Amino acid sequence: MSETFTSVSQEEAGFRDRERLSFDLDVDICIIGAGLAGLSVALEAARLGASIAVLEGRHIGWNASGHQLGTVMPGFALPLADLIERVGFEDARELWALSKQGAEFVRANATEANMPGLGLSDGVLEVSNVDVGDRLISRLQMLNEDFDTEVEGWQADRVREMLRTDRYFHGVHYPRAFQVDGRKYVHGLAALARRAGARIFEDTPVVSIDHSGVRKRIVTPSARLRASHIVLAGNIHLGAPLKRLSETLLPVWRYAGVTAPLGERLAEAIAFNGSVMDSDGVDHFRIVDGDRLMWASPETTWAVRPQRFAGAIKRRIRTIFPALGDVEIADAWGGATGQTVHGMPQIGQLRKGLWVASGFARQGMNTAAMAGQMIARSILWGDDRWRLFSPFELVWAGGVTGRVAGQLIGVWGRASSAAAGSLARYRERSRIKDREREARLKEANRAAGTGPRRPPPVRPRIVRPTPQPAPVPHADKIPDSVQ
Binding residues (CB under 6 A) for ligand FAD: these are 32-38, 55-58, 62-65, 67-71, 182, 205-206, 233-235, 237-239, 241, 254, 256, 296, 334-335, 337, 358, 360-365, 368
Give the separation between CA 357 and CA 342, rounded to whole angstroms: 15
Nearest to 323 by CA among 269, 271, 283, 257: 269
User: Smallest gap, in angstroms, from Cβ of residue 360 to ligand FAD?
Assistant: 4
User: Smallest gap, in angstroms, from Cβ of residue 426 to ligand FAD?
Assistant: 31
> Which residue, 110 or 365, is less far from ligand FAD as judged by CB?
365
User: Smallest gap, in angstroms, from Cβ of residue 343 to ligand FAD?
Assistant: 13
> Which residue, 205 or 343, is less far from ligand FAD as judged by CB?
205
CB atoms within 10 A of CB 276: 25
Beta partners for residue 218, in sequence order: 209, 225
Nearest to 345 by CA among 357, 362, 328: 357
Q: Are 147 and 79 in contact (CB under 8 A)?
A: no
Q: Are 348 and 368 in contact (CB under 8 A)?
A: no
> Which residue, 131 or 254, is less far from ligand FAD as judged by CB?
254
Give the separation between CA 170 and CA 155, rounded to whole angstroms: 5
> Which residue, 365 or 397, is less far from ligand FAD as judged by CB?
365
CB atoms within 10 A of CB 165: 17
User: Smallest gap, in angstroms, from Cβ of residue 415 to ligand FAD?
Assistant: 21
User: Smallest gap, in angstroms, from Cβ of residue 211 to ligand FAD?
Assistant: 14
User: Smallest gap, in angstroms, from Cβ of residue 70 to ligand FAD?
Assistant: 5
- Greatest alpha-carbon span in the chain: 108
Nearest to 59 by CA among 10, 108, 109, 125: 10
> Which residue, 33 or 171, is less far from ligand FAD as judged by CB?
33
Helix, strand, coil proportions of the chain in percent (round to 5)? 40, 20, 40
User: What's the DSSP call for residue 270?
Assistant: B
> Which residue, 293 or 424, is less far from ligand FAD as judged by CB?
293
Side chain identity at residue 431, one-letter code: R
> Which residue, 37 or 262, is less far from ligand FAD as judged by CB?
37
CA distances from 133 to 83, 92, 176 (A): 22, 24, 22
User: Smallest gap, in angstroms, from Cβ of residue 76 to ligand FAD?
Assistant: 10
